[in-house]
Amino acid sequence: MDFGKWKYEAAVKARESRKNQTTTTLKEVRFRLKIDDHDYETKVSRARGFLSAGDKVKAMIQFRGREQQRPEMGVRLLQRFAEDVGDLGSVESSPRQDGRHMVMVVGPLKTKAEVKKQEAAEAAAEAAEAEPKGTPSKRARKNQERVSTEKKDVKPLSNSMADYLPDELKNL
């Protein structure tokens, strides 16, 4: 095997491994300590979407003024958040205070690659379900429409105009 062939095969192998590789990104959801119920539900639904897509979620609470003296309220809010997204993710780092912010990281239960495979399988099943079993595929229909080119069906070519005249006119 020559060097060029080896180099080409190595490049193809690297391209294939990159195609199957997925990176998990860290998405951030920010709260305030005095968050309303509807706003909280909106933030939780965003986080659930991130987790179902296979991304990690960083939940951050911002404290202002006297709120910094009550970190236990922030811990309670983050624990409530962890319970609400518990079916899609698990807590990777427990709540910790970092200056004016309290941070907790929630990781997905399914990796991005597993989510991608599951979506592809669902799409394939949906496509198979949409097309009834009795109908031929697009390729099979095209093959049926093609004109036959077998020898028995083909007439020989001729340069004479007489060959194209009807039989009654040929005998005149």
Please give the model's pTM, rounded to 2 decimal places: 0.60
| CATH code assigned at 95 | 3.30.110.10
The CA distance from 73 to 68, in Å, is: 10
Q: How many CB atoms lie within 10 A of CB 74?
A: 24
> In tens digits, what is the pLDDT along the chain, a chain of 172 residues?
688 899 999 999 988 888 777 677 889 999 998 899 999 999 999 999 999 888 999 999 999 988 888 889 999 999 999 999 999 889 998 899 988 999 999 999 887 778 788 888 888 888 777 766 666 677 777 777 776 666 665 566 666 766 677 777 776 6
Inside any domain, residue 88: yes
| Residue 106 pLDDT | 94
Inside any domain, residue 81: yes
What six digits make up the tokens of 29? 């959801």
Inside any domain, residue 37: yes
Residues 73 and 102: beta-carbon distance below 8 Å? no
Inside any domain, residue 156: no
* Range(s) of the domain holding residue 87: 24-111
The CA distance from 102 to 106, in Å, is: 14
Output Rg (C-alpha) for the chain, integer angstroms: 33
Closest alpha carbon to 33 in 3, 76, 1: 76
Inside any domain, residue 98: yes
Inside any domain, residue 165: no
| Residue 157 pLDDT | 62
Instruction: Give the count of domains, the chain.
Output: 1
Inside any domain, residue 3: no
| Residue 154 pLDDT | 57
* Tokens 């899609």 found at: 88
| Residue 63 pLDDT | 92
